[in-house]
Structure 1
Amino acid sequence: MTSEALPGVSLTFAPRGSEAEPLRTDVAAFLGRLRRGPVGAPVRVESWNDVVGAFGPPPSSSSRGDTLDGAFATPYALRGFFENGGRTAWVLRVSGPAATARARWTVGDTSGFPRARYQVVATSPGTWANGGHIAIRYQASTVAGPPTVSVQVTVPGEVPESFPGLPLAELVERLTESRLIRLVPDGPPPPPGRPGPISLSWNLTLAGGTDSVPTRGEYEDAVAVQAELPEPALVAMPDLGTDLAGSAHTAVVLELLRSVDASHDRLAVLDVPPRLASADEAVDWVGSLAATGDSRLLGCAAVYHPALRTPDGHGLRTVPASGHVLGVIARLDGERGAHHTPANAVILEAVDLADEFPEPQQARLFEAGVDLVRCTRGRGLIVWGGRTLSAEPRTRHIAHRRLVHLLVRAIRRVAAPLVFDVNSSELRLTLVRAITSVLLSAFRAGALAGARAEQAFRVVCDDTNNPPEQDPGQLVCEIEVAPAVPMEFIRLRLVLGQDRGLEVIEA
């Protein structure tokens, strides 16, 4: 974008790049309800302003009473993510069947218009555009040029938009620049040859938009879309506990964990459903997830509780903790690395806890695998725990899991280009050197134990794990890593197969 500052001087602002970076481990994915925006299509945002531009401002509790506490939590979770140091997120708006607000605009027989009738349609489904006012003014041709139309769009809660002096033939195309409306031809061309008046005005009101609560199917569709995104390393569903209950809620959580487990490169941060007010109910809910007995699946998720009280401009609002905690994890990732635990870190832009639990109840929650958010004197709100839901030491610690995620992402990057190479000693050497360079970087960053690199990791790709009788179209590489903190050793098995691509298996 270029703007004239002084005669002969112009300033050019290049937009910041937004290309995905799959090696990063601080990028989050949020699946939930938002005021507007595309449904089911992932949108990459790099600031709170990006969120508001793509999905609109969050609903205000002052405009619809206190009934929104717990509903539409995703925008507030996103704001907490960015306010706590998050830099990049992918957002998927989840919605049930919903109608889009619209208004009919009849041009009539005014000459110059390509069509005699149009539909003014909101850019996305939902009630957000109902009551929106569209003011259209037509000005006939003058000595200054051909006929033009000026459009003003005013939607409650949104920044007004103005589009002056639009050529009649370019109306539909030019209004694609609007964040709020689109113009859709809805009639035949007007009769030719009839001169129109000098000016005309139309005042339209958008109506007919509806919202509906997402079902299990819509959430599972969003989980599937999330799984295909290569960049996110953290996942949250802040509205899930409000929208679904019972077996439907559990089924979506388990579907998310299965998708996370299959990728080996991301962590799900869950919220206790808001309808479960007591510590006993929260423990029982965690127990229903642990009943799967699958430690690998449980090692893909961490639960943070209780919810937070955050300012919303008109008072305080109850917001699930997941968004703020993901922001803390992302902040520490940038400051110290993915291998650092989020425990004992301060939460910003939250003023209180939604619930206070006595110490015996805190102990029960902790024993059940719930990571607590606590309010401490002199420090405020802090994250008090860094464990997954798994009880097994190998998959129990968030820092351990995120180190695995970092290694898997880095190894995929260096190994994927070698998939179709011929299995030979040269390929083995190339693969070992590439993986060793990744592990050396992790060792120098302090993520691995040992005084020397050979004490921190080992890479084996020779005849011991690739015997002569093995399929020549398959190459196996085994990696052993010693984390810096006292946790279990990490063992990864890398399989390159010309018929099935690259597969990373955690042993």
Structure 2
Amino acid sequence: MTSEALPGVSLTSAPRGSEAQPLRTDVAAFLGRLRRGPIGAPVRVESWNDVVGAFGPPPGTPGARDPQDGAFATPYALRGFFENGGRTAWVVRVSGPAGTARARWTVGPLGGFPATRYQVTATSPGTWANGGRVAIRYQASTVAGPPTVSVRVHVPGEPPEAFPGLPLPEAADRLTASRLVRLVPDGPPPPPGRPGPISVSWDLTLAGGTDSAPTRGAYEDAVAVQAELPEPALVALPDLGTDLAGGAHTDVVLALLRSIAPLHDRLAVLDVPPRLSSVDEVVDWVGTLAATGDGRLLGCTAVYHPALRTPAGSGLRTVPASGHVLGVIARLDGERGAHHTPANAVVLEAVDLAAAFPEPQQVRLFDAGVDLVRCTRGRGLTVWGGRTLSTDPRTRHIAHRRLVHLLVRAVRRVAGPLVFDVNSPELRLTLVRAVTSVLLSAFRTGALAGARPEQAFRVVCDDTNNPPEQDPGLLVCEIEVAPAVPMEFIRLRLVLGQDRGLEVIEA
């Protein structure tokens, strides 16, 4: 929703509808702390204004009440994403146990209301609504029409809202348009036919909202939510390093990687926890992740460091680099394609690095698998590095991983409708033609190597990988792809099973 505010009035309009597009590889998912908004439920946003509308202004906004003293970074990471060229993101607010601010409104025996008492509640849990004022004015029926009620809402740091002339039976439903409050009946209906005064006013104050830092379980729940979303191809957790430490932090990271690795269609961009101040600590932390020895997991994550200094109010704020880097990746995706390395590109909406490393320390970080953001003379801040944490040449390069993500999404789109078709030569031909069309498109954009298509890819779906004795409910299609540079083949194996749908396996 978009909103325009004047003193004493807020005009709100719903955005045009937009559907998820699973074939895109520039959509990001952000899991972290925000001022307000639903907890644990994904919200799709397409601009910074959408973020502010759904989750409130960022920390430091004059007059706003910020949970945990405004220590959360996700709003600034989202702003960096959109300022750097991102177009669409899914946001999951993560929080510990939280209470919702509310106030009791006693209407009394006024005729026309569905109930004699109501609870005026904030739209979402948190301390953000504490101290919010709700002014309600009842106006009896006149020659102009039946009785009405007008509602004005003012929460610190938020644009004021006004809802004039609401019909009494519809007041609760009409207030669902508010970003800030809801009206919940909390009492019996009034006695019929009892006359009331010409007008009555109530001034209510919201109170009782509480916040707490997210737990490991809250983050793991958010990780599970993002895994169910078909659209995101990039994932960031900007507040994770602040909220969790030690084994709890590592467990959440591994839970994230285990949730996205089987999907073969998204990349996690991690931030170095802010408590790690020295290069030795950073290298040890990366080593802890690498100690899993699972190239499949390490191949779907990248670490960018150091944090950035970004404008915030009248000063600067330190923000993890992941949101800005995802914006750069999304921008290059639109300009060049998913198969281009997200490196040597300028970072916007940031003015400095939170830490500067001399060259020997940069080399140590690079050798440990950390991708750097650097300050380059004459160019400003630039992304410097496009590698995952994997040491396996097949899964080391972000450009190759994102090419796989694009191909997997495209192949799912063309092969998914064929799952319940009868295993026959006609089905094999249909599948090969559909997959070949996807690969030809990638070849024409320069994503694949070779002067001719036959040098760039190969699709096999015949008796060699579908022998007569094989289960007739399964159909196997093998794909070999040569990415542009360096020349390392990528192998995908598609299995169509009538009892288990479409399965993509990276060989």
**TM-score, structure 1 normalization:** 0.95
Aligned pairs for 1:394-473 within 5 A: 394-473=394-473
1:257-315: per-residue Cα shift (whole Å, max 9, x none)? Answer: 01110100000000000111111111111010001011111011000000000001221
Q: CA deviation at 1:198?
A: 1.2
How many residues align? The count is: 496
Alignment correspondent of 2:257: 257
Aligned pairs for 1:182-261 within 5 A: 182-261=182-261
1:178-216: per-residue Cα shift (whole Å, max 9, x none)? Answer: 111000011112233321111111000000000111111
Q: 1:314 to 1:14 in 2, by over 3 A?
A: closer
Alignment correspondent of 1:7: none
Q: CA deviation at 1:169?
A: 1.1
Alignment correspondent of 2:37: 37
Alignment correspondent of 1:342: 342
Q: Secondary structure at the match of 2:153?
A: strand
Aligned pairs for 1:280-429 within 5 A: 280-429=280-429
Q: Secondary structure at the match of 2:250?
A: helix
Q: 1:189 to 1:51 in 2, by over 3 A?
A: same
Q: CA deviation at 1:66?
A: 11
Alignment correspondent of 2:121: 121
8 Å Cα contact 1:477/1:494 also seen in 2: yes
Q: Residues of 1 paired with 2:231 and 2:266: CA distance?
A: 9
Instruction: Letter of the 2:497 partner, please give it.
Output: G
Q: Residues of 2 paired with 1:14 and 1:430: CA distance?
A: 42
Q: Residues of 1 paired with 2:63 and 2:156: CA distance?
A: 11
Q: Secondary structure at the match of 2:394?
A: helix
Q: 1:14 to 1:221 in 2, by over 3 A?
A: closer
Instruction: Letter of the 2:317 partner, please give it.
Output: R
Q: 1:14 to 1:172 in 2, by over 3 A?
A: closer
Q: Residues of 1 paired with 2:160 and 2:142: CA distance?
A: 28
Q: 1:69 to 1:196 in 2, by over 3 A?
A: closer
1:337-396: per-residue Cα shift (whole Å, max 9, x none)? Answer: 000001100000100001111111111111000000000110000000000000111110
Instruction: Letter of the 2:325 partner, please give it.
Output: V
Q: 1:238 to 1:50 in 2, by over 3 A?
A: same
List gaps (5 residues or longer) in structure 2.
Answer: 2-12
8 Å Cα contact 1:219/1:252 also seen in 2: yes
Q: Residues of 2 paired with 1:66 and 1:134: CA distance?
A: 20
Q: Residues of 1 paired with 2:374 and 2:66: CA distance?
A: 25
Alignment correspondent of 2:75: 75
Q: CA deviation at 1:65?
A: 11
Alignment correspondent of 1:52: 52
Instruction: Letter of the 1:236 partner, please give it.
Output: A
Q: Residues of 2 paired with 1:118 and 1:501: CA distance?
A: 49
8 Å Cα contact 1:69/1:317 also seen in 2: no
Instruction: Letter of the 1:242 partner, please give it.
Output: T
Q: Secondary structure at the match of 1:105?
A: strand
Q: Residues of 2 paired with 1:207 and 1:61: CA distance?
A: 20
Q: Residues of 2 paired with 1:158 and 1:62: CA distance?
A: 10
1:55-94: per-residue Cα shift (whole Å, max 9, x none)? Answer: 1111117769999798321110000000000000000001
Q: 1:69 to 1:330 in 2, by over 3 A?
A: farther
8 Å Cα contact 2:65/2:127 also seen in 1: no
Alignment correspondent of 2:28: 28
Q: Residues of 1 paired with 2:423 and 2:194: CA distance?
A: 77
8 Å Cα contact 1:70/1:319 also seen in 2: no
Instruction: Letter of the 1:53 partner, please give it.
Output: G
8 Å Cα contact 1:242/1:274 also seen in 2: yes
Alignment correspondent of 1:141: 141
8 Å Cα contact 2:67/2:127 also seen in 1: no
Q: Residues of 1 paired with 2:62 and 2:285: CA distance?
A: 32
Instruction: Tell me the C-alpha RMSD between the 2 structures.
Output: 1.7
State percent identity of aligned pairs: 87
Alignment correspondent of 1:99: 99
Q: Secondary structure at the match of 2:430?
A: helix
Q: Residues of 1 paired with 2:364 and 2:213: CA distance?
A: 33
Task: Confirm or deny that 1:270 pairs with 2:255.
Answer: no
Q: Residues of 2 paired with 1:43 and 1:18: CA distance?
A: 12
**TM-score, structure 2 normalization:** 0.95
Q: Residues of 2 paired with 1:70 and 1:450: CA distance?
A: 52
Q: 1:194 to 1:63 in 2, by over 3 A?
A: closer
Alignment correspondent of 1:483: 483
Alignment correspondent of 2:505: 505
Q: CA deviation at 1:14?
A: 9.7
8 Å Cα contact 1:400/1:487 also seen in 2: no
Q: 1:14 to 1:133 in 2, by over 3 A?
A: closer
List gaps (5 residues or longer) in structure 1.
Answer: 2-12
1:305-330: per-residue Cα shift (whole Å, max 9, x none)? Answer: 00000001221001000000000000
Q: CA deviation at 1:109?
A: 2.0
Q: Residues of 2 paired with 1:423 and 1:144: CA distance?
A: 71
Q: Residues of 2 paired with 1:217 and 1:331: CA distance?
A: 33
Alignment correspondent of 2:8: none
Please say which of residues 104-113 and 308-317 is displaced more in the overlay. 104-113
